[in-house]
Amino acid sequence: MVADKEQIMIESQLKVVGKILSAFSHELNNHLAVIKESAGLIEDILNFNKSFKGAGKENLKAFQSIENHITNTSWLCEQLGNFGHKMDEPLASFDVNESINELLVLLGRIAKQKGIIFEKDFQDNVPLIYSNPSKLQFLIFCFIDKNLNRFERNGSIIFKTSYSHSSITIKILTRGEVTETGERDICPDEIHEYVARRLRGNIVREDGGIAITLPVSISSEADAHD
């Protein structure tokens, strides 16, 4: 009973975090939209008004730069918002490639700091799957985190997806010199297996990586004691 309540509490907490993330990123987007339109209006005035022609070239470049940065920031906000929304429902239809990509975008800064490169080799036209998107992202995050701590600069983490026989396989492979950073993994190995089982999938550990295989559709998550 206590364990059930604990489980409900953790899931509710995650939903709260997701809601705050998505609401916050949307709010940021609103402010960015006002900034973009205001910068755009000044740019328009410089462009449309003949008396500003010539004198405004440098200004126009600056406004273009503002607009580009707003566009990039807004796109990052959108990724953060989508990430937050993944916690809305326990089961949903989603695109695996898109979900991995979203995670890689959000972890881009950490990877850059550590000098690790993310490489993608996604199969095209992978069908949408019906499963728990936030748990899958969590599982993939665990492997990324583990490898970010294991490799020296210029190492790579490679993500491959493929679809066959009603299941999707996500391979996470690594390349580079292994090092000991002393940093502890956020999530212990046994949790990886546990999460994969909950998603009715399995994990195969191979040389230099892992392969997660998931069914295309599940009607519910497996019981914790399965």
Q: List contacts with another protein (CB under 8 A).
A: 26-27, 29-30, 32-38, 40-41, 44, 48, 70-71, 74, 78, 82, 85
Rounded CA-CA distance 148/174 in Å is 10
- Minimum Å distance from CB 63 to another protein? 12
10 or 41: CB nearest another protein: 41
27 or 119: CB nearest another protein: 27
Which residues 6+ apart lie within 8 Å of 211 measured at CB? 169, 170, 171, 172, 203, 204
- Minimum Å distance from CB 61 to another protein? 18
29 or 174: CB nearest another protein: 29
78 or 145: CB nearest another protein: 78
Which residue(s) pair with 129 in the sheet?
94
Rounded CA-CA distance 88/134 in Å is 9
- Minimum Å distance from CB 20 to another protein? 14
Indicate the length of the chain as a whole number. Answer: 226
- Minimum Å distance from CB 32 to another protein? 5
Burial of 84 (0-12, 13-18, 19+ CB in 10 A): buried
Strand bridging mode 156-164 / 117-122: parallel
Please report how the helices 96-106 and 57-85 are oriented relative to each other, as an axis angle in degrees rounded to 10: 120
71 or 202: CB nearest another protein: 71
11 or 44: CB nearest another protein: 44
- Minimum Å distance from CB 62 to another protein? 17
Residue 223's CB is within 10 A of a number of other CB atoms, namely 8
Rounded CA-CA distance 156/119 in Å is 7
- Minimum Å distance from CB 156 to another protein? 31
